[in-house]
Amino acid sequence: MTQIQNNEQKESLIKVLAIVGFLAAIVLLVFIAVKVVTFIPGAFNSLASIADSVYNYDKTDTLKVTTPTSVVKTDEGFTISWKDMNKPGTYSFMVDCVSGINADVRTADGEIIAVVCGEPFKLAKDQTSLEIVMKTRIDRFTDIPYSITFTPSDPRQESVSASARVTIINASIPTGTTVTETPAEPAKEVATETTVVTPVETKPVIAKPQAPVYVETPIYAIPASNPNGTIDLQVVFIGVGELNGSSFTLLPELQTGKAGAIRFSVKNIGTKTADDWSFNAKLPSDLSFESTEQNALKPNEEAIITLNFTGISRTGVESFGVTVDATADVNSKNNSFTWAVNVVN
């Protein structure tokens, strides 16, 4: 009997302990659940911060300039482009200073603006491409470095730049030749005069083309002539192109079947007036021209002459030149020049 009572007491105790353990487990689970609920927002905030840091990671090396070609003819437009940095800031374009180079850009509204070398040219905020026109007048081949720079609106962030270069070809300049630009001598008083003259006496080698006509622009400095001085006429090549009325336009090449023109200057760098002088020209396609006697040039006077001609029939590189003939000229080394131009169909 006593054994039976002891067993019943043990069973009752086990049941009580089981109930207490069950309740303790429930309390523990509730406690853990409360802690988890309290921890989760902080964890999500940390994950969000990490994701935001990854998304907004500042890749300073992503700015890259691309262009369809790296070789362009002078006066021919080309376009460069770059990837948007996807953050507030401004872009700017800069071309390095290279002797004999001019650069123009076309803005978003179509305006052509000259760019000052070595100085940043500010672009539109959302602009990712730029049309550029470069001109070279000294060397046949010229490498021109340029760059695009992104400046963030946040002053704490550094600017990012991408550099590239383009080769400009001027086909009117023979290979291996460099044009020397000579600054004009200052004159106290300068008057300009433009006259269109049709020469009466011409001796063309080919009779079919029309007789060349030239536009002469004398620049007078009103100097005094020394009767005992010397005559020294200097001829300098200026450019090749086309003549529209009295307007001369430089061109990188000429075309068959169309009129061409060359421009040059004749200056008296001596001390005595050149009363008797003329010039003759050898033109592309074996054309030639001999002028009549020209107006006298006093010391330091200069005549700018544009010789217009037709009858261009051959393609390829064609040479041309001008020789000045003056009575009593003391220096024949500067009386002529020879040049070349590319002729296409």
β-sheet bridge partners, residue 244? 247
In sequence order, the 6+-apart residues with CB closer than 8 A to the CB of 152 are 85, 87, 88, 89, 158, 159
* Per-residue pLDDT in tens (0 to 9) along the chain, 345 residues: 555 556 666 677 777 777 877 788 887 887 787 776 666 655 555 555 555 544 444 444 578 888 888 888 888 888 999 888 888 999 999 999 988 888 999 877 777 888 999 999 998 888 889 999 888 888 888 889 999 999 999 999 998 988 888 988 888 877 655 655 544 454 444 444 444 445 555 555 554 556 666 555 555 445 678 889 999 999 999 999 999 888 899 999 999 999 999 999 999 999 999 999 999 999 999 999 999 999 999 999 999 999 999 999 999 999 999 999 999 999 999 999 999 999 999
Q: What is d(CA 287, CA 308) in angstroms, rounded to the nearest whole number?
A: 12
Q: What does the DSSP 8-state code read for residue 274?
A: B
Domains and CATH numbers, the chain: 65-169 (2.60.40.2410), 191-344 (2.60.40.10)
- Global confidence as pTM: 0.40
Inter-residue contact 130 to 113 (CB < 8 Å): no
- Three-state SS for 243? strand
Inter-residue contact 340 to 252 (CB < 8 Å): no
Closest CA to 74 of 106, 98, 96, 102: 102
Inter-residue contact 217 to 303 (CB < 8 Å): yes
In sequence order, the 6+-apart residues with CB closer than 8 A to the CB of 31 are none
- Three-state SS for 11? helix
**Tokens (6 digits) for 290:** 């001999």
Inter-residue contact 179 to 153 (CB < 8 Å): no
